[in-house]
Amino acid sequence: MNDRLIYLDNAATTFPKPPGVLDRMVETYGRLGASPGRGGYDLAMEAEELVAQTRMKLARFFGATDPERVVFASNATDALNLAIQGIVGPGDHVVSTRLEHNSVLRPLYHLKERGWIDYDLVPFDGQGFIDPDDVVRAFRPNTRLAVVSHASNVLGTVQPVPEIARLCAERNVPLVIDVAQSAGHVTIDMAAWRVSAVAFTGHKGLMGPTGIGGLVCSPELNVSSTRFGGTGVESRSPIHTQTFPHRLEAGTLNLLGIIGLSAGIDYLQIEGVDRLHQREMTLFRRLREGLASLPRIVVYGSTPGDSHVPLLVCNVEGFNPSDVGAILDGDYQILVRTGLHCAPLVHADLGTDPRGAIRFSLASFNTDEDIERTLEAMADLSGKG
Amino acid sequence: MTEPAETAGPSGDPDRQHWLIGGRRVYFDIDRFLWDSQDWSEELAEIMAREGGLGQLSETHWKVLRFIREFYLSNGRAPRNRPLKESTGLSMREIEELFPEGIKLGARRIAGLPASIKRICD
C-alpha cells in the first residue's frame, strides 16, 4: 500500500491483509488448486482435506461443536440469506433489530413483500444497545427466528448476545447472529452462548480475502436448502444432498478464498484476538476523544467501553459527509466510508438520514501516526487547524 | 429557474419533477439533479447555480464544472477525487468551498451529472 495512505475503512474490508495471507493463497492454490471434493485423485483429495481443516479451524474459532456444520458462502450477506430463507416459512414471524445492515433488512423485507412472513424490529437505546428483554417481548406465538447484529457497523456497539441467546433458547426460538463486524475483534463462543448460527464474512476482521464467508450452525438448528446443484456426493439422486455441509452448499467451493481465510484465522490465533483488539481500541479511543474535542464535529453513539469494536461515525457541521470523505481522500490521503453504510434505519434513528455520516474504522495495522494525522486533518476541516 | 409545474413527471415517479425553463420542461430529481444529462447547457448551469445559492459563476467555477462535465461525457461517470484536484489545480477543500452545496451535491449537479450518478455510493 502507498505509504502515504491512511486506510480507515476496515469495517468495509480490512486492508492490507496480514503478512503471509496473500503469499499462502498464491503458493497453496498454485500447488493444490484442484476441485475440492470432486475427484478421486490425490490432488483433489488434498484440496478437500484443506477445506475440511478450515471447517475445523472455523468451528474452533467460533466455539461451534460440529465442523460439518460450517457452511461456506460468499460473504455474510450470502450466509444470512441462507439462514433466513432456510429457517422461516410461510406464516412465520421474525424478530430483528433496527441496528441491522441491509444484509438482514432486505431479505426480511423481500419475504414480507411476498406475503410469506411478518417481522418486528427492536429499537436500540441512546447508546446504541439492544435490550435483550425487548427482543423476547417482540416474540409472537409464531416467531420462528431472531436475527441480531453482534456489532453495529455504524455505532460499533457490541450487543449483549449471550443474554439475548439465553432468552431465545429458553423460548426455543433460534438466534442467528451477524458477526460481520465482530469476528476477529471479539471472542465468539456459540456453544457457550447457545447461539443457533453465526453468519460471518472472511474479508473483514478475519483478515481473509473478499468472496468467502459462511454460516456456522448448531447441531440443533434445522436449515432447509435454498440453493441446489452439484455437491460432489450422491450424484445419481435428483434431490440435493441433505447432509451438512452440502445441504447448504451448491457448486464448486471458493478454494482460493478458503485458503486465504484459513491463513487469516491462523494470523489471528498467533497474534491473539484479544491482544490485537486491545491495540486497536487504544488507537480508537484516542481518535474518538480527539474528534469529540474538536468544534463543529458531532460524534454519534456511546463512549467506547468494553463492548465496542473500533469504529465510529461523525459529521462536521456545514459539510456534506460525502464531501468530507472526498476532501480526506483527495487532500489528506485518508480513506473513510461516508453515507448510510447500508444501515438506513440506524441513520434514520440518529437523525443523519439521508446524507449519513463519516465512518472511521480501524484495524490493528493502524498506527499512532495514522490517528494523529487524521485528527490534524479533521481539525483543519472543523476550522480549528 | 421558474417554478415547478408539478411534483411528478409523466412516469409518476415521486422523485421526479419538472421545471419550465424557456417554455420547455426540464426534469429533475428530488435533489434537483437533472434527470437527463442531455438537457444541460451552460445557460441552464447558470440558472441552477443561482437557484442553489451561488451568484454569477466565476472562471474558477467554470474550470471545475467544465472538467466534471467533460469527464462525465467521456467516461460516463463522475471524476475521482485525485484527477479532479490535479486537473483543476485546486484542493478538494477549495472546490468544496466554491459551491454552497459542496462537491457531490453542488458541483456535480450544476455540471449536469444525472440523478442516476448521484445514487451511486450512498
Whichever domain contains A104, its CATH number is 3.40.640.10
- With CA atoms as reference, report the closest residue to A185 among A275, A270, A77: A275
* Domain edge (last residue) among A270, A288, A317: A270
For residue A334, the chain B residue with the least C-alpha distance is B81
pTM: 0.94
pLDDT classification of B122: cutoffs 50, 70, 90: low
pLDDT (tens, 9 = 90+) of chain A, 385 residues, equals 555 899 999 999 999 999 899 999 999 999 999 999 888 899 999 999 999 999 999 999 999 999 999 999 999 999 999 999 999 999 999 999 999 999 999 999 999 999 999 999 999 999 999 999 999 999 999 999 999 999 999 999 999 999 999 999 999 999 999 999 999 999 999 999 999 999 999 999 999 999 999 999 999 999 999 999 999 999 999 999 999 999 999 999 999 999 999 999 999 999 999 999 999 999 999 999 999 999 999 999 877 777 999 999 999 999 999 999 999 999 999 999 999 999 999 999 999 999 999 999 999 999 999 999 999 999 999 985 4
One domain, residues A362 and A214: no
Task: Compare CB distances from B102 to A320, A331, A380 and report the shortest one's residue.
Answer: A320
In a domain, residue A207? The reply is yes
In a domain, residue A118? The reply is yes
One domain, residues A85 and A213: yes
* Domain edge (last residue) among A270, A302, A321: A270
Partners of residue A356 in chain B, C-beta under 8 Å: 122
Specify the number of domains making up chain A. 2
One domain, residues A237 and A127: yes
* Domain edge (last residue) among A226, A247, A270: A270
- With CA atoms as reference, report the closest residue to A199 among A99, A101, A65: A101
One domain, residues A196 and A236: yes
One domain, residues A277 and A150: no
8 Å CB contact of B81 and A326 = yes
For residue B104, the chain A residue with the least C-alpha distance is A323
Residue A84 is predicted with a pLDDT of 98
Partners of residue A327 in chain B, C-beta under 8 Å: 91-93, 96
* A311 neighbors A8 (Cβ within 8 angstroms): no
| A260-292 residues labelled b (16+ CB within 10 A) or e (exposed) | bbbbbbbbbeeeebeebbebbbebbeebbebbe
For residue B95, the chain A residue with the least C-alpha distance is A327
DSSP secondary structure string for all residues of A211-257: T-EEEEE-TT------S-S--SS-TT-SSPP-STTGGG--SS--HHH
Residue A332 is predicted with a pLDDT of 97
- With CA atoms as reference, report the closest residue to B77 among B39, B49, B37: B37
Specify the number of domains making up chain B. 1
**Mutation for A interface: B64, B87, B92, B98, most A CBs within 10 A:** B92
CATH code where residue A310 lies: 3.90.1150.10
One domain, residues A340 and A315: yes
The reply to whether B120 touches chain A by the CB within 8 Å rule is no
What are the cell numbers at B37?
444529462
One domain, residues A205 and A311: no
3-class state of residue A111 by DSSP: helix
8 Å CB contact of A381 and B93 = yes
Q: What is the number of other CB atoms lying within 10 angstroms of the CB of residue B43?
A: 10
- Amino acid found at A332: Y
CA distance A258 to A244: 17
Tens of pLDDT, residue by residue over A72-128, are 999 999 999 999 999 999 999 999 999 999 999 999 999 999 999 999 999 999 999
Q: Which domain holds residue B85?
A: 4-118
Question: Exposed, middle or buried, A106 (CB in 10 Å: 0-12/13-18/19+)?
Answer: middle
Residue A306 is predicted with a pLDDT of 75
| Chain centroid to CA A181 | 4
CA distance B111 to B95: 13
Q: Which domain holds residue A87?
A: 21-270
Question: Exposed, middle or buried, A80 (CB in 10 Å: 0-12/13-18/19+)?
Answer: buried
In a domain, residue A248? The reply is yes
Partners of residue B92 in chain A, C-beta under 8 Å: 323, 326-327, 329-331
8 Å CB contact of A326 and B121 = no
Query: What sign does the CA torsion over A41, A74, A188, A244 have?
Result: negative
What are the cell numbers at A117?
412472513
How many cross-chain Cβ pairs, A to B, lie less than 8 Å apart?
A: 48
Partners of residue B105 in chain A, C-beta under 8 Å: 320, 322-323
Residue B121 is predicted with a pLDDT of 52
The reply to whether B84 touches chain A by the CB within 8 Å rule is yes
Residues in A whose CB is inside 8 Å of some CB of B read 319-320, 322-323, 326-327, 329-331, 339-340, 354, 356, 380-381
Residue B24 is predicted with a pLDDT of 86
One domain, residues A153 and A34: yes
One domain, residues A305 and A285: yes
Q: Please give the ipTM for the structure prediction.
A: 0.88
Interface of B with A in 93-112 (CB under 8 A): 93, 96, 101-105
3-class state of residue A311 by DSSP: strand
Task: Compare CB distances from B96 to A323, A329, A339 and report the shortest one's residue.
Answer: A323
One domain, residues A47 and A175: yes
One domain, residues A127 and A258: yes
CA distance A134 to A123: 8
Widest CA span of chain A, in angstroms?
Answer: 71
Residue A385 is predicted with a pLDDT of 47
Partners of residue B101 in chain A, C-beta under 8 Å: 320
What are the cell numbers at B61?
467555477
**Mutation for B interface: A327, A328, A332, A382, most B CBs within 10 A:** A327
Residue A326 is predicted with a pLDDT of 97
In a domain, residue A265? The reply is yes
pLDDT classification of B20: cutoffs 50, 70, 90: confident
Tally the C-alpha atoms within 13 A of residue A120's C-alpha that lie toward its C-beta: 14
Residue B10 is predicted with a pLDDT of 44
CATH code where residue B75 lies: 1.10.10.370
In a domain, residue A1? The reply is no
Residue B22 is predicted with a pLDDT of 77
Contacts of residue A31, Cβ cutoff 8 Å, sequence gap at least 6: none
One domain, residues A257 and A306: no
Question: What residues form DSSP beta bridges with A261?
Answer: none
CA distance A138 to A145: 11
